Amino acid sequence: MNTLIIKSSKTTVGFSYAAKLALSIFLVSAMAGSAFAADKKIPKLSNGKPDFSGIWQTTSAADYDLEPHSNRKDAPPGLGIVDGGLLPYLPKALEQKKKNFDARLTADPALKGYTLGVPRGIYYPEPFQIFQRNQDLTLVHQFGHSVRTIYTNGTEHPDDPNDWWLGDSRAHWEGDTLVVDVKHFNDKTWLDRAGNFHSDALHVIEKWTYLDANTIEYKATIEDPNVFSKPWDISVVLHRHREKNFQLIEDYRFTLDYDQYYPPKQTTK
Amino acid sequence: MKNKVIQYYLGLLITSIALAPQIAQAADAAQANTEKKAPAQEKPAANNGGSGISREKSFPKLLSGKWTGAKLADGQPDVSGHWSNTIANHSNFTDPQGGIPNDPNPNRLAKGPREERAPSRVSDPVDGQLPFQPWALEKVKEFQVKFHDPTEPQFIEPLARCAPGGVPKSLYWHGYEIRQYPNYVVFLFDSGTRIIHLDDKPHLPNAIKLWNGDSRGHWEGNTLVVDVTNQNGKALFGRSGEFISENAHIEERYIFSNDNTRYNYEAVFTDPEVYTRPFTVTIPAKRWTAADKPNGWHFETTLAKHAGKEPLLDREERICTENNGGFGMGAATPSN
């Protein structure tokens, strides 16, 4: 059919330039459609799955407070990233959250340089790098240089593992979306610097999808029956760092309280 | 609710008591680029009750040359997987199997002549000693005395506070995993992560100082060549207290055997602020695979749960912040 159209365009005298252009666009898109499907040219691994390799960061104010909030001395204003706006706390947990909020300038575990956890490490305002192979993704967070492995090799959660700062992550693909099931967390991390928190019953289901080659839509469903009355959803956009020579710079900030004692200094001549 | 803090304390305890002679890993490298075959240690093991740190007394020399093993799609030799050193932990840098210098418990110090133990990690100068400037040697000697009763914070070995192991100590701390990607080789250590950039990016600006330094590498046949700058000099070489300054320059060569079972780390350290001349550090390493039994020091993995028959390894997360301010903090430290 394409051939037919080309033939007619060649033989039609006075065929307008605009029409030719429209035809050629149609042809190019038709050809692209047959060869690459509708993948918007996102990076792919050798196994055909999306390749999220790169250094990523959100521009949202999510880490200041997941919920909608006005400006305050320790935070810019923000719309929040929770579907429906507010977190569905159980009454007792809401009391704890308020205590956390009041103590946030000293009690936030991130201030000690502790690993941020999941999902906080994703929307914390420092870059993280994804290294990806067919069998797994390795996330290295600049903050704390903490390392999380997301398995895409068909393995399941272990039966009775330790509790982890970053949980245990097992993933599968739904089309071009990476779906990650994360559980077996400890209860030592917060969800943001406003004191939103979770217990060790935290369960996170993440969905990672390319919007285009340099932008990821990160969605997560969070449930924790010890803290929340029902599951809730968040969504942030992650942008690829494209600055020249950009790289992670290790940020082991939990060492800052004692690192002045090393190395020995030359005090006498 | 379980967590890993106990394992870290246990690991530290075990590494400090597991200094009696043990069964050595036979140096079973028969690869083409092996210059000489290392003799296996035949002494019977003393039961130390620990996880057992592999204690080869010698190891094969590996030569740089062609890589004939498997390659990744981007052309890198495929050396990904689990590795560990083969002779000892970080208790003593220049007499790796000798025990912590000045250990007040004589049972933990090695007995017998020096030649019966693995050589110094310092392969040049040939006497195996680090060519310290006098002031730096005084500092190291002071550390080696006060380490055992650290009344001031600088005498605590920083790894005991969860600091990253740094270069070169990470290579003789616990086992570790290498993962490779186009433009990167990533070392996942028990305490810290090293991202080695294989592209042509310049080093970070000199004002930025890091526990693991800034690494730029490339492959030459079977050898990963890495240039390391931007050290913060804080990590120390181990419980024997040796150190580099923040302006040290390290030129590393990771020389892999073509059967992909071993590599030797050979690195030239140049640091005129602390030393009188450059010196070379040599650290042997061996590979661990799913066919090996996991253990609590060299090969800390678990078998993944899955429907198939193939053994797949899980790597559990290593996050030591729980221990920050822990081991060794019985000492009075003004900052805490």
Quick: pLDDT tens for A126-140.
Answer: 999 999 999 999 999
Q: B22-27: which pairs have CB atoms within 8 A and are 24 or more residues apart?
A: B22/B46, B22/B48, B22/B52, B22/B53, B22/B54, B22/B55, B23/B52, B23/B55, B24/B54, B24/B55, B24/B56, B24/B57, B25/B54, B25/B55, B25/B56, B25/B86, B25/B286, B27/B56, B27/B58, B27/B59, B27/B60, B27/B86
Residues of A in contact with B193 (CB under 8 A): 140, 145, 147, 250
Q: What is the rounded distance in angstroms from the CA atom of residue B74 to the CA atom of residue B89?
A: 34
Residue-wise pLDDT for A207-262, tens only, equals: 999 999 999 999 999 999 999 999 999 999 999 999 999 999 999 988 998 999 99
Smallest CA–CA separation between B161 and chain A, in Å?
8
Q: Contact at 8 Å (CB) between B225 and B252?
A: yes
Q: Which A-chain residues 98-137 have CB contacts (< 8 A) with chain B?
A: 112-115, 129, 131-133
Q: What share of chain A is helix, strand, coil (3-state, %, to 5)?
A: 25, 30, 45
Residue B85 CA to residue B17 CA, distance in Å, equals 18
pLDDT tens digits in sequence order for chain B, 336 residues long: 454 443 333 333 333 333 333 222 223 233 334 444 333 333 333 333 334 677 899 999 999 999 999 999 999 999 999 999 999 999 999 999 999 999 999 888 998 999 999 999 999 999 999 999 999 999 999 999 999 999 999 999 999 888 999 999 999 999 999 999 999 999 999 889 999 999 989 999 999 999 999 999 999 999 999 999 999 999 999 999 999 999 999 999 999 999 999 999 999 999 999 999 999 999 999 999 999 998 888 999 999 999 999 999 999 888 886 554 434 443 333 333
A168 CA to centre of own chain? 16
Measured CA to CA, the distance from residue B158 to residue B333 in angstroms comes to 13
**In which domain, by residue range, is B35 found?**
5-323
* CB nearest to A249's CB, from B208, B302, B306: B208
A2-11 vs A17-36: helix axis angle to the nearest 10? Answer: 160
- Predicted TM-score (pTM) of the model is 0.85
Cβ distance A138 to B244 less than 8 Å, yes or no, reads no
**Considering CB atoms only, which of A138, A162, A263 is closest to B2?**
A162
pLDDT of residue A267: 78
Exposed e or buried b per residue across B142-172, where buried means at least 16 C-beta atoms within 10 angstroms of its C-beta: ebbebbeebeebbbbbbbbbbbbbbbbbbbb
In this complex, is the C-beta atom of B145 within 8 Å of any C-beta atom belonging to chain A? no
Residue A40: per-residue pLDDT: 67
Q: Provide the pairing of β-strand B192-197 with B214-220.
A: parallel
The answer for B 49-78 residues in CB contact with A (under 8 A) is 73
| A264/B143 touch (CB, cutoff 8 Å), yes or no | yes
Name residues whose C-beta falls within 8 Å of residue B111's C-beta, 6 or more positions apart in sequence. Answer: none
Q: Which amino acid is at A61?
A: A
Q: How many CA atoms lie within 13 A of B92 on its CB side?
A: 24
| Domains held by chain B: number | 1
For chain A, strand residue ranges (E) read 54-58, 128-132, 136-141, 147-151, 168-174, 177-183, 203-212, 215-223, 232-240
Inter-chain CB proximity B305 and A266 less than 8 Å: no
- In angstroms, rounded to a whole number, what is the distance separating the alpha carbons of residues B196 and B205? 16
Establish, for the pair of chains A and B, how many residue pairs have beta carbons separated by less than 8 Å. 157
Distance CA B103, CA B206 (A): 38
Distance from CA of B36 to the nearest CA of A (A): 37
Rounded to 5°, the CA angle B92-B96-B98 comes to 80
Task: Look at residue B334 and tell me if it is in a domain.
Answer: no
Angle among Cα B32, B35, B37 to the nearest 5 degrees reads 90
**d(C-alpha B1, C-alpha A166), whole Å:** 14
Query: B45's torsion region: left (phi>0), alpha (psi -120 to 50) or beta?
Result: beta
Domain range list for chain A: 2-36, 54-242
Q: Which of A115, A145, A186 has the CB atom closest to B192's CB atom?
A: A145
The answer to whether position B312 is within a domain reads: yes
Give me the residues of chain A with pLDDT under 70, please: 1-40, 268-269
- Smallest Cβ–Cβ distance between B201 and the set A114, A245, A269 belongs to A245
CA dist B240 and B223 (Å) reads 29
